[in-house]
A and B are shown apart, each in its own frame.
Chain A
Amino acid sequence: MSQHDASPLVEIRGLRFARGNRLIFDGIDLDIPRGKITAIMGPSGTGKTTLLKLIGGQLRPLEGTIRVDGEEVPRLSRVQLYELRKRMGFLFQSGALLTDLDVYENVAFPLREHTNLPEPMLRDLVLMKLQAVGLRGARHLMPSELSGGMARRVALARAIALDPMMMMYDEPFTGQDPISMGVLVKLIRTLNDALGLSSIVVSHDVGETVAISDYIYLLSGGKVVGQGTPDELGRSDSAWAQQFLRGLPDGPVPFHYSADDYAEDLLLGTEAGRG
Chain B
Amino acid sequence: MLNALQQLGRTALGFFERLGRGHILFYYLLLGIPSVLVRPRLLLQQLFSVGVLSLLIILVSGFFVGMVLGLQGYNTLVDFGAEESLGTVVALTLVRELGPVVTALLFAGRAGSALTAEIGLMKATEQLSGMEMMAVDPIKRVMAPRFLAGFISMPLLAAIFSAVGVIGGYFVGVGLLGVDEGAYWSQMQAKVDLHDDIYNGVIKSLVFGVVVTWIAIFEGNDAVPTSEGVSRATTRTVVHSSLAVLGLDFILTALMFGDN
Q: Is the CB of A94 within 8 A of B126?
A: yes
Size bin of chain B's contact surface:
10 to 19
B129 at the interface (CB under 8 A from A): yes
Interface string of A46-68 (1 = CB under 8 A from B): 00000001001010000000000
Shortest CB–CB separation between residue B138 and chain A, in angstroms?
A: 11
Q: Hey, which chain B residues are within 8 Å of A96, CB to CB?
A: 125-127, 129-130
Q: Is the CB of A110 within 8 A of B130?
A: no
A92 at the interface (CB under 8 A from B): yes
Q: Hey, which chain B residues are within 8 Å of A83, CB to CB?
A: 135
Shortest CB–CB separation between residue B46 and chain A, in angstroms?
A: 11
Q: Is the CB of B129 within 8 A of A86?
A: no
Q: Is the CB of B135 within 8 A of A56?
A: no
Distance, CA A113 to CA B142, complexed state (A)? 12
Shortest CB–CB separation between residue A272 and chain B, in angstroms?
A: 21
Distance, CA A162 to CA B135, complexed state (A)? 11
Shortest CB–CB separation between residue B215 and chain A, in angstroms?
A: 22
Q: Is the CB of B127 within 8 A of A82?
A: no
Q: Is the CB of B125 within 8 A of A109?
A: no
Q: Is the CB of B126 within 8 A of A113?
A: no
Interface string of B128-142 (1 = CB under 8 A from A): 011111111100010
Distance, CA A265 to CA B37, complexed state (A)? 60
Q: Is the CB of B137 within 8 A of A92?
A: no
Among B100-122, those with CB < 8 Å from A are 122
Q: Is the CB of B126 within 8 A of A82?
A: no
Q: Hey, which chain A residues are within 8 Å of B126, CB to CB?
A: 92, 94, 96
Shortest CB–CB separation between residue B114 and chain A, in angstroms?
A: 13
A97 at the interface (CB under 8 A from B): yes
Can you list 7 pairs linking A and B with CB atoms under 8 Å apart?
A53-B129, A90-B134, A94-B126, A110-B135, A113-B134, A113-B141, A114-B136
Chain B residues engaging chain A, CB cutoff 8 angstroms: 122, 125-127, 129-137, 141
